[in-house]
Amino acid sequence: MNLMSFASLPDPNVAQLIDANLDRAREGLRVIEDWCRLTLRQKDLVVTLKGWRQQLGSLHHEIYKQARCIENDEGLGITHPAQSARNCPEDVIAANSARAQEALRVIEEFSRQCDPELSETAGTIRYGLYELETTVLNASLRFKRRKKLLSTKLCLLTDPKTNIYKTIEIALKKGVSMIQYRNKDGSDMERFSEAKKISNLCKSYESLFIVNDRIDLALAVDADGVHLGQGDLPTEIARQLIGSQKLIGRSTHCLKQLEQAESEGCDYLGVGPVHLSKNKPQEQPRGLSYVSEVSKATKLPWFAIGGINTSNLNEVLSAGAERVAVLSAIMNSSNPDSAIHELLKRLS
């Protein structure tokens, strides 16, 4: 022990208290660190958390450890029902962030007189953790959405039809796990009302809901993300607006656009149009050759789109696609239930 590091030797009871809370703080930080390292794979967060743990470890002096007396700890073995109510990783992260923050506050208060360096370090880390907790939780939400995205094979695009809700609910019941809202007509209030109803439907079936073009609308209805065309906002600006927890998709029509979208951090890609589309007749089809090129060019999840239906799906899959996005094949079908069943069957 270096006595020069202490303004005064701590009372044994205070030393025991500091020791216990240093352990709690370091344990809580380690739980968060491992989630960032092994699941989120975000090196910057890992470096910060590891640095905080090592700072606290270097100040966990022998005088604190020698004061440890586990058998006299009245709180040993006490549990709370809230501990068994942590149903997802986000709950675990929030609980351990709170645990570390509370422990750091105790350390900060009780070491203020005897160990000013430890008190100041605990305070600095505590404030840093408040911000980092939000960053980790947002990253965890995006991770969950990306995981859902990876398992998605069929994306349904909407058009403003009178039976839109009925068709979407049929799709969700059949297992379509991603809906992209597209409506170029009507007022903002009409689109907000429509998108909100669809967003709620998707939430009830635990499916992704993506809004086409409109970041403001995506935020207003708490969508899972936004899909952007080549003429829409740059990805960097879109990310600043929509936040780190949401998904961003980008339409691509050539490999150069695809590589740019990938380098900018888009979560998924649209690839096409593969065939001439009734909904966008002005766009020249890129054909199956582009599908084949993309299958070798990226590891990001991507959806072939444009005039795809049950009659030509097999050739799109043979060209290398694993996921497709369709509109007319379902929304304009006389029997959407049957069309969805057939599409999902071939994509499985």
Around 93, how many Cα atoms within 13 Å sit in the side-chain half-sphere?
23
pTM of the model: 0.82
CATH number at residue 228: 3.20.20.70
**SS3 (DSSP) at 209:** strand
Mark whether 156 and 138 lie in a shared domain: no
Q: Give pLDDT < 50 ranges for the chain.
A: none
Q: DSSP code of 306?
A: S
Mark whether 197 and 316 lie in a shared domain: yes
pLDDT at 116: 95
Mark whether 163 and 36 lie in a shared domain: no
Mark whether 167 and 305 lie in a shared domain: yes
Task: Output the six-digit token pair for 37.
Answer: 């390292």
Mark whether 200 and 63 lie in a shared domain: no
Mark whether 106 and 204 lie in a shared domain: no
288-347 pLDDT tens trace? 999 999 999 999 999 999 999 999 999 999 999 999 999 999 999 999 999 999 999 999
Contacts of 296 (CB under 8 A, 6+ apart): 320
Mark whether 99 and 76 lie in a shared domain: yes
pLDDT at 300: 97
268-271 and 225-228 as β-strands: parallel, antiparallel, unpaired? unpaired
| Helix (H) or strand (E) segment spanning residue 338 | helix 336-347
Do the Cβ atoms of 277 and 306 come closer than 8 Å?
Answer: yes
Around 273, how many Cα atoms within 13 Å sit in the side-chain half-sphere?
17
Mark whether 136 and 192 lie in a shared domain: no
Domain residue limits at 257: 151-347
Q: Which residues pair with 250 in a beta bridge?
A: 228, 269
Last residue of a domain, one of 115, 145, 175: 145
Mark whether 62 and 10 lie in a shared domain: yes
Angstrom distance (rounded) from CA 170 to CA 303: 21
Mark whether 39 and 76 lie in a shared domain: yes
pLDDT at 7: 74
* Cα maximum dimension of the chain: 83
Q: Return contacts of 191-198, CB within 8 angstroms, 24+ apart.
A: 191/217, 192/217, 192/220, 192/221, 194/160, 194/164, 195/220, 195/221, 195/223, 196/220, 196/221, 197/165, 198/158, 198/164, 198/165, 198/168
Angstrom distance (rounded) from CA 105 to CA 101: 6
Number of structural domains (the chain) is 2
Last residue of a domain, one of 145, 177, 212: 145
Mark whether 158 and 84 lie in a shared domain: no
Last residue of a domain, one of 145, 175, 209: 145
Mark whether 85 and 212 lie in a shared domain: no
Q: Which residues pair with 268 in a beta bridge?
A: 249
Check residue 40 and give left, alpha or beta (phi > 0: left; psi -120 to 50: alpha): alpha
